[in-house]
Amino acid sequence: MFVGYGALALHLPHARDLKAKRRVVRGLIDRMHARHRVSVAETGFQDLHQRCEIGVAVVAAEEQEVDRILDLVRELAEQELEVVVLDWQPTVLAESK
């Protein structure tokens, strides 16, 4: 079993208030979960309207599958027109026996 996780640091340059930020972030989180069945949540910068951190976690039987899913999550965030990805450093952990 392999566990992958990471935090996407995002900039939302067009968000002028928290309501606009929430609309973009909620949509992105919902798409990540629906398309890739990952656990995902807003984990930082909740009170800033142009910054966001989204935490992502996935579990799979193969390391390559975890890597593939984490890459797809990053690509989905990069495709969002209202978001700029500032940082993404995923980590994969292997089950110790």
Assigned domain for 95 exists: no
Number of folded domains in the chain?
Answer: 1
CATH number of the domain bearing residue 8: 3.30.70.1120
Assigned domain for 24 exists: yes
| Mean pLDDT along residues 49-65 | 95
Assigned domain for 97 exists: no
Assigned domain for 74 exists: yes
> Residue ranges of the alpha helices (H) in 1-97?
18-36, 63-79
Q: Give the model confidence (pLDDT) of 71-85 as tens digits.
A: 999 999 999 999 999
Assigned domain for 96 exists: no
Assigned domain for 50 exists: yes
Assigned domain for 40 exists: yes
Q: How many Å apart are CA 85 and CA 18, to the nearest integer?
A: 18
Tell whether pTM > 0.85.
yes
- The length of the chain in residues reads 97
Residue 7, domain extent: 2-89
Q: How many Å apart are CA 59 and CA 15, to the nearest integer?
A: 33
Q: Give the model confidence (pLDDT) of 9-26 as tens digits.
A: 999 999 999 999 999 999
